[in-house]
Amino acid sequence: MGISEVSCHLQAEPAVTDCQLLDATQLAIDATLGRRLANAKARLDRLEQQPHSRDDTALASARVEFSLASRALADDLLAHGLIAQEHTG
**How many other CB atoms are there within 10 angstroms of residue 66's CB atom?**
19
The SS3 of residue 19 is: strand
Confidence of residue 88 (pLDDT cuts 50, 70, 90): very low
- CA-CA distance, 58 to 80, in Å (whole number)? 33
Q: What's the pTM value of the predicted model, to 2 decimals? A: 0.63
What percent of the chain has pLDDT above 70? 61
Rg, the chain, Cα only: 17
Measured N-to-C along each axis, helices 56-79 and 31-48 cross at an angle, to the nearest 10 degrees, of: 150
- CA-CA distance, 62 to 28, in Å (whole number)? 26
pLDDT per residue as tens digits for the range 5-46: 555 555 666 555 444 555 555 667 889 999 999 999 999 999
Residue 22: predicted pLDDT: 54
